[in-house]
Amino acid sequence: MRTWIACLLLSLPTFAADAWRPSTSQVEAIYPQMESLYIDLHRNPELSLHEEKTAATMADKLRALGFEVTSQVGGTGVIGVLKNGSGPTVMVRAELDALPVPEKTGLPYSSHVTTKNDDGVEVPVMHACGHDLHMAIAIGTATLLAQNKTGWRGTFIFVGQPAEERVLGATAVLKDGLLTRFPRPDFALTVHDMNTVAAGKVGFTPGYAMANSDTVDVTIFGRGGHGAAPNLAIDPIVIAARSILGWQTVVSRESSPFTPAVITVGTIHGGTKANIIPDDVHLGLTVRSYEDSVRTHLLEGIERTARAEAESAGATKPPLVKVSESVRAVYNDPALTERVVGALKQALGDANVEQQPPMMAADDFAEYRLAGIPSFDFQVGAANPEKLAAATKSGQALPGLHSSLFAPDLEPALKTGIRAETAAALELLGKP
């Protein structure tokens, strides 16, 4: 009985009766600065691996708060360290990059930025995934912690991570010494805004929250010829069509219906004219899963099916199958999730903390867990509550992440995000 009670007590939130938590007035006091920061970031987005000005803004804000700041970590990453005596080390990750999306929100602070991408093509740029909000929330959290150092003990680390949209940044920051050049985090936290959660609330997902994601490039080879004499050619377009149908059975007939799995063919390129059979066809796939065994099976099934179809058609050589981008599933540590959710409910009220289903979207925040840091990714509501209720009733979704029309309900989303992230960090930091 005593052992059971001890285990129960360890699992409960550890706020002391007199522990400091940010008051509404403290959040209100810093809000104008955070709103201005958000607007500046939103107006001036930068693409992945090119976040120089964004990184400089983060570094300036952190230095002004008394952080030890290191720039150019993993490329354009920024690491800020605030030491405040002995205690746990807690890391908060905020993404720096934006997307090649033309903004159509009509907001007075809309982005009108265009730039050349890595292929030299002029593209529009927009914070269509809320990374500007994530940065403003994290700087708000850093501000409150810096202003109230008598209320906690330990080390707080701000990680301004580049290139999340290309799932490159977390690996780059880790390879550049996040765990060796700086105090090793005991816990990692991040937030993500969501258009399916009302502003003023937060969401959480125990266990798997986001998916393994693999981009697979497939080239199928045939033998070109005249479209009027297909018998004299080996048609790679037909092989591609049969492969696409076969890939769907890897999900529907080889995978358990109780195990999430997705194979989507997003691009097909082959041929130049209707009456010419081409020599080859190029396909681009995205593959999603949660469990590593399912991921392995899907990738093996894609190559196996394509090879079999090519051999059946007498292709001149087997297909070339290449995994070009990969990121592993975001998995929220169960004990950490239970502990932080308790703190979020104390800070925001039970009704404002909602459990959400897992998503097939991906985030390279997963890399920190794989590096051995217990991690928790939770959601900050971005949708105007009235508009969300009307959309739910009508069955029409609000503009979501990566949409040119996406914009958070700024004031309640930003204030709630700051309160929630600060409460989560305080739960894990040492008490005075």
| 275 and 145 in a common domain | no
Would you state the pLDDT for residue 13?
42
Q: Which domain holds residue 169?
A: 10-210+329-428
Interior angle at CA 46, CA 42 and CA 48, nearest 5: 130
Would you state the pLDDT for residue 325?
87
Interior angle at CA 384, CA 378 and CA 388, nearest 5: 90
Query: Residue 310's closest CA among 245, 239, 234, 237?
Result: 239
135-152 mean pLDDT: 98
In a domain, 72, yes or no: yes
Final residue belonging to a domain, choices 327, 356, 384:
327
- The kind and range of the H/E element at 432 are none
In a domain, 353, yes or no: yes
In a domain, 5, yes or no: no
Percent of the chain with pLDDT over 90: 94
**423 pLDDT higher than 80:** yes
- CA 152, CA 155: separation in Å to the nearest integer? 9
209-217 mean pLDDT: 97
- CA 296, CA 367: separation in Å to the nearest integer? 18
DSSP state of 398: P
- The percent helix, strand, coil of the chain (3-state, each to 5) is 40, 30, 35
239-244 mean pLDDT: 98
Final residue belonging to a domain, choices 298, 327, 356:
327
Q: How confident is the model at residue 19 (pLDDT cuts 50, 70, 90)?
A: confident
Q: At what angle do helices 131-147 and 24-43 cross, to 10 degrees?
A: 140
Q: How confident is the model at residue 18 (pLDDT cuts 50, 70, 90)?
A: low
Q: How confident is the model at residue 93 (pLDDT cuts 50, 70, 90)?
A: very high
Which residues face 353 on adjacent strands?
202
Cα atoms found within 13 Å of the Cα of residue 12, Cβ hemisphere only = 9
| 248 and 302 in a common domain | yes
Q: Give the position of tokens 């894609």.
A: 302
**348 pLDDT higher than 60:** yes
Question: Could you count the other beta carbons within 10 Å of the beta carbon of residue 421?
Answer: 28
In a domain, 3, yes or no: no
Q: How confident is the model at residue 178 (pLDDT cuts 50, 70, 90)?
A: very high
Query: Over the stretch 71-88, which tens digit does the pLDDT of each residue have?
Result: 999 999 999 999 999 999
The overall average pLDDT reported for the chain is: 95
| 271 and 181 in a common domain | no
Q: At what angle do helices 236-252 and 292-312 cross, to 10 degrees?
A: 150
* Pair 415, 31: CB distance under 8 Å: yes
| 396 and 323 in a common domain | no
Cβ burial of 37 (10 Å; 0-12, 13-18, 19+) is buried
Q: How confident is the model at residue 164 (pLDDT cuts 50, 70, 90)?
A: very high
Percent of the chain with pLDDT over 70: 96
**215 pLDDT higher than 70:** yes
In a domain, 4, yes or no: no
| 106 and 191 in a common domain | yes
111-121 mean pLDDT: 97
Tokens standing for 293? Answer: 């065994």
In a domain, 235, yes or no: yes
Number of domains in the chain: 2
Would you state the pLDDT for residue 15?
42
In a domain, 63, yes or no: yes
Would you state the pLDDT for residue 81?
98
What is the model's pTM?
0.91
- CA 137, CA 141: separation in Å to the nearest integer? 6
| 303 and 233 in a common domain | yes
Q: Which residues contact 407 (CB under 8 A, 6 or more apart)?
A: 105, 107, 399
**Residue 406 backbone dihedrals phi, psi, to 5 degrees:** -75, 130
Final residue belonging to a domain, choices 327, 357, 378:
327
Tokens standing for 284? Answer: 């681009």
| 145 and 111 in a common domain | yes
| Residue 340: CATH number of its domain | 3.40.630.10
- Could you please report the per-residue DSSP string of 275-321? TEE-SEEEEEEEEEESSHHHHHHHHHHHHHHHHHHHHHTT-SSPPEE
- CA 377, CA 395: separation in Å to the nearest integer? 27
Q: How confident is the model at residue 430 (pLDDT cuts 50, 70, 90)?
A: very high
Query: Residue 95's closest CA among 156, 159, 33?
Result: 159
Q: Which residues contact 111 (CB under 8 A, 6 or more apart)?
A: 42, 43, 44, 45, 98, 103, 124, 125, 126, 127
| Residue 226: CATH number of its domain | 3.30.70.360
Q: Which stretches of 23-130 are DSSP H helices?
A: 24-43, 52-64
Would you state the pLDDT for residue 222?
97
Query: Over the stretch 258-276, which tens digit does the pLDDT of each residue have?
Result: 999 999 999 999 999 999 9
Tokens standing for 251? Answer: 């999900």
| 79 and 21 in a common domain | yes
**198 pLDDT higher than 70:** yes
| 216 and 136 in a common domain | no
Q: How confident is the model at residue 11 (pLDDT cuts 50, 70, 90)?
A: very low
Query: Residue 305's closest CA among 255, 265, 248, 267?
Result: 248
Cβ burial of 364 (10 Å; 0-12, 13-18, 19+) is buried
Cβ burial of 40 (10 Å; 0-12, 13-18, 19+) is middle
| 61 and 161 in a common domain | yes
284-306 mean pLDDT: 97
